[in-house]
Copies of this chain bind each other. A is one copy, B any other.
Amino acid sequence: MAKIAIVYFSGYGHTAKQAEAVQQGAAGVAGAEVNVFRIDQDGNLPDTAWEALGAHDAIVYGSPTYMGGPAWQFKKFADTSSKPWFVSAWKDKLAAGFTNSASINGDKFSTISYFLTLSQQHGQLWIGTGLQPANQKQHGPSDVNWTAGFAGALAVSPSDATPEEAPRSGDLETARLLGRRVAEFAAKLAA
């Protein structure tokens, strides 16, 4: 039995779809309890969410990549997490991350790197996708890990695509597989 929290911000709904896929992947693991906490437009979570987070075995971070990093609303969450940091409350929990942006590359690495840095301040263990990339001529957005995310799940939603259109199937499956991987290892560490 492992408890997995997904904490994310979404501006237009694309990252929310990615978060949903991570949730599905994690929920499919026997004995996993998955709770989702969406940061609001002012960068806040309810007090009950802050209390609940500490009781999870894994915390997965998600945000769109805006201007080369996580949205400020996510950063406000991160800054507020200095309270649990001060007492090492999240130490030894598992951590993972996902991000979405319009471009195929576009500094998504920077956002995942920040999640990673945050997790290490908290003393968490980081787990990535564990996936090989789909990088042959024939590959495209419907292939798992076409975006070649290793440290985290990356999704591409073209700037003129609605949340119904993107992230596309390969990116959503990548997110699902990350969720499953997190849940499996959270159970292992919680045992």
Residues of chain A touching chain B, judged by Cβ–Cβ distance below 8 Å, are 43, 66-73, 75-76, 78-79, 81-82, 85, 88, 91-92, 102-110, 113-114, 116-118, 120-121, 123, 125-133, 135-137, 139, 146-151, 154, 158-161, 165, 185, 188-189, 191
Contacts and interface: CB of A to CB of B under 8 A. Distances in A.
A20 B62 CA distance: 36
Nearest to A110: B117
Copies in the complex: 4
Contacts of A81: 67
A121 to B, nearest CB: 5
Contact of A130 (B91, B104, B114): B91
Contact of A104 (B66, B67, B105, B123): B105
A85 B72 CA distance: 17
A71 B66 contact: no
Given A106-B135, A114-B114, A137-B165, 15 more contacts: A66-B82, A68-B78, A68-B118, A69-B117, A72-B73, A88-B132, A103-B148, A106-B148, A110-B113, A110-B114, A121-B150, A123-B128, A123-B130, A125-B127, A126-B127
24 contacts: A66-B78, A67-B81, A67-B85, A67-B118, A68-B121, A72-B75, A75-B75, A91-B130, A105-B147, A105-B154, A109-B110, A110-B114, A117-B150, A120-B126, A120-B150, A120-B151, A123-B128, A123-B129, A125-B185, A126-B127, A135-B159, A136-B158, A137-B160, A189-B189
A46 B39 CA distance: 26
Given A109-B107, A137-B158, A158-B139, A67 B121 contact: yes
